[in-house]
Amino acid sequence: MSELRERVTQAFSARFGGPPEQIVRAPGRVNLIGEHTDYNDGFVLPMAINRAIWIALRPRSDRRILLHSLGFDQPADFSLDGLTHSRGWTEYTRGIAWILQQQGIALSGWEGVLASDVPVGAGLSSSAALELALLRAFWTVSDFEWNQAHMAQLAQRADHGWVGIQSGIMDQMISALGRENHALLIDCRSLEVELLPLNKEIRVIVLDTATRRGLVDSAYNERVAQCRAAASFLGVPALRDIRLDAFNAKAEKLDEIIRRRARHVISENERTLQAASALRRGDVRAFGQLMNASHESLRDDYEVSSRELNTMVEIARQREGCYGARMTGAGFGGCAVALVDAATSVNFVNTVGEAYTQATGLQPNIYICQASDGAKVVSPNQVSEIYETSEV
Ligand code: GLA
């Protein structure tokens, strides 16, 4: 039994004097390739990881939501009537209640306990995992249809309309649609997806640099604006709509910074599609090289890497059995991801950490990740698990 499942179950019983009726789980994610492409209507290739948010809950007869977190002091405690803003993580709970009610869905109250092993602020999408876990929690006590892509869109709308973050759609999509042992190619315009099996001989290793950057939001919004400016100059709805050769023919007329930003996005879209083909034919080497090229482009053209991320990536690439490494997520700090031969992965983990500490004085966190399922209900008595297969 998963350790967190046990913890939320016990904490629920201790707090509410009885067992939970439902347990839900939604995973964090690591993006393998396709960075800063989602808000350009482009392609991304993430996988859901075996780190997740768990909520144990039971319905209430009134319209109160009471959710305790094992990681944060303040509970989310509010009525579904007359929602108001608060601060911190509880905003997500209100935001999800808000967007569901905006859809005309009649919600019921519930009480629960939440636990997570997705590090916050590391670029592994703890917020999207929280949103999808909350949607699942509301789903178990209310009457609405669970369509994975639609749920991801609602989570994104809660970000935009309630929490006040202009997120893309990648994180919510993968937390909703992830599948064990698979990466997911997502077309962020049509929301069409393709599950791609991961080769059993490789390991996906997340390398947390132990650095966090405060300015991520403003730098992120600036990149979004620069991409819009480039698309408008190039006369296309989004940067997804122009190929690299057509762009190169027109690029000279663009402002130098905007040109580099656009070149990253356009080339990254092409790399992501090539990486998906490499995965389909089981060509791990080609995949790793595309990851390397992605990092270079994020570092030089998009300028969202950092000294620590570059150091981590360099160190990872020097190890035996490493096919490729790159920064992952929004950037400016957080995590890198490496694709490593399974046979050398333990040695890789042991030596990368040491070398990184020597180079930076920082203590990294390193996770060998397994691709896991998207948001789902896990029966509290462990007899069965409900998997959703609705079309997207
Ligand atoms: C953050 C956002 C995503 C995506 C990445 C960059 O993680 O939440 O939507 O834009 O940055 O690829």
CA distance 165 to 234: 27
- Number of the ligand 1 atom closest to the C-alpha atom of 165: 8
CA distance 320 to 117: 29
DSSP state, residue 75: P
Q: Is the CB of 170 under 6 A from ligand 1?
A: yes
Who contacts 245 (Cβ-Cβ below 8 Å, separation ≥6)? Answer: none
Q: Which two tokens stand for residue 116?
A: 């997570």
Catalytic residue among 41, 117, 171, 301: 171
What is each CA distance from 286 to 32, 182, 262, 271, 365, in whole angstroms? 13, 18, 24, 10, 27
Q: What sign does the CA torsion over 153, 270, 222, 41 have?
A: negative
**What pairing do the DSSP bridges indicate for beta strands 193-197 and 202-208?**
unpaired
The per-residue pLDDT string of the chain (392 residues; one tens digit each, 9 = 90 and over) reads: 589 999 999 999 999 999 999 999 999 999 999 999 999 999 999 999 999 999 999 999 999 999 999 998 899 999 999 999 998 899 999 999 999 999 999 999 999 999 999 998 889 999 999 999 999 999 999 999 999 999 999 999 999 999 988 889 999 999 999 999 999 999 999 999 999 999 999 999 999 999 987 766 789 999 999 999 999 999 999 999 999 999 999 999 999 999 999 999 999 999 999 999 999 999 999 999 999 999 999 999 999 999 999 999 999 999 999 999 999 999 999 999 999 999 999 999 999 999 999 999 999 999 999 999 999 999 776 533 444 433 33
**What pairing do the DSSP bridges indicate for beta strands 110-116 and 64-69?**
parallel
- Number of the ligand 1 atom closest to the C-alpha atom of 169: 9
Q: Note the pTM of the prediction, 2 decimals.
A: 0.95
Find the 264 Cα to ligand 1 centroid distance in Å: 15
- Nearest residue (CA) to ligand 1, atom 3: 168
Q: Which two tokens stand for residue 333?
A: 């700090």
Count of H helices and E strands in the chain?
A: 11, 13
Q: Is the CB of 41 under 6 A from ligand 1?
A: no
Q: Would you say 34 and 11 are in contact if contact means Cβ atoms under 8 Å apart? A: no
171 classed as catalytic: yes
CA distance 103 to 28: 26
Question: Which one, of 224, 313, 298, lies nearest residue 260 by Cα?
Answer: 298
CA distance 58 to 23: 9
Residue with tokens 């707090």: 15
Probe target for ligand 1 pocket from 124, 125, 171, with the most ligand atoms within 8 Å of CB: 171
- Number of the ligand 1 atom closest to the C-alpha atom of 39: 10
Length of the chain equals 392
